[in-house]
Amino acid sequence: MGQVNGCVSRRTVLGAAVAGAAVAGLAGCGEAEWYPADVTPDEYVLRSVIREKERTVSLYEAAIAGGTGPADLLERLLEHHLTHVDALVESLPEGASPTPPADPAGGGETPPEGGPAPGGVLDTAGLRLLESAATSARLDQAAAVSDPGLAQLISGIGACEAGHAYLLARA
């Protein structure tokens, strides 16, 4: 029955291939988690955005203290960034610590080109570059998450940062 002239029929080969694929597929459905790391990809992106926003907050605080731009504008934009940090921290998974685990690679955002050395104070032009870079990073970060609500939050933050860049360019 599966052989014609001593050869195996195509139906037999296809049936065996389908059965083999089904067995292989079901073998992967054990009780192991689908993502074996402690931090999910969405949480990794979220924590990355939080680190960037915290760095931005510290740069704004330094700029305000250093008097490198219009204080009223910088204070208003700082408040926006603090609100962003709060919203991002609230988006962390239940039970997750708001303090991200240490990044062994030392990752994070680099200062804008032409910006000050670490510990320096950015002027209005440097803050504008920082906001512009953050805006473009948000597009990739929003695309990298699977949760639609988180993607919307990150996109909204990027839109706000684009507005900041515009306001800083006019200052």
Residues 7 and 62 in one domain: no
Residues 4 and 71 in one domain: no
Residues 98 and 156 in one domain: yes
Helix (H) or strand (E) holding 88: helix 71-90
Residues 27 and 45 in one domain: no
Residues 87 and 153 in one domain: yes
Q: Residue 96 maps to which CATH number?
A: 1.20.1260.10
- In the structure encoding, which two tokens stand for residue 68, read together? 């490198």
Residues 100 and 78 in one domain: yes
SS3 at position 45: helix
C-beta separation of 51 from 106 below 8 A: no
Residues 2 and 84 in one domain: no
Q: What is the pLDDT along the chain (171 residues), one digit of tens a residue?
A: 555 566 777 777 677 777 766 666 655 555 555 555 678 899 999 999 999 999 999 999 999 999 999 999 999 999 999 999 999 999 998 877 766 555 544 444 444 444 454 457 999 999 999 999 999 999 999 999 999 999 999 999 999 999 999 999 998
Residues 13 and 48 in one domain: no
Report the number of distinct structural domains present in the chain: 2
- In the structure encoding, which two tokens stand for residue 82, read together? 């603090």
Residues 9 and 86 in one domain: no
Choose among 43, 59, 167, 166: nearest CA to 118: 59
The dihedral of CA 34, 37, 40, 41: what is its sign? negative
Residues 8 and 84 in one domain: no
Alpha helices in the chain (DSSP H): 10-27, 41-66, 71-90, 124-144, 148-170
Structural domain of 27: 1-32
CA–CA distance, 106 with 122 (Å, rounded to integer):
22
Residues 100 and 133 in one domain: yes
Model pTM greater than 0.85? no
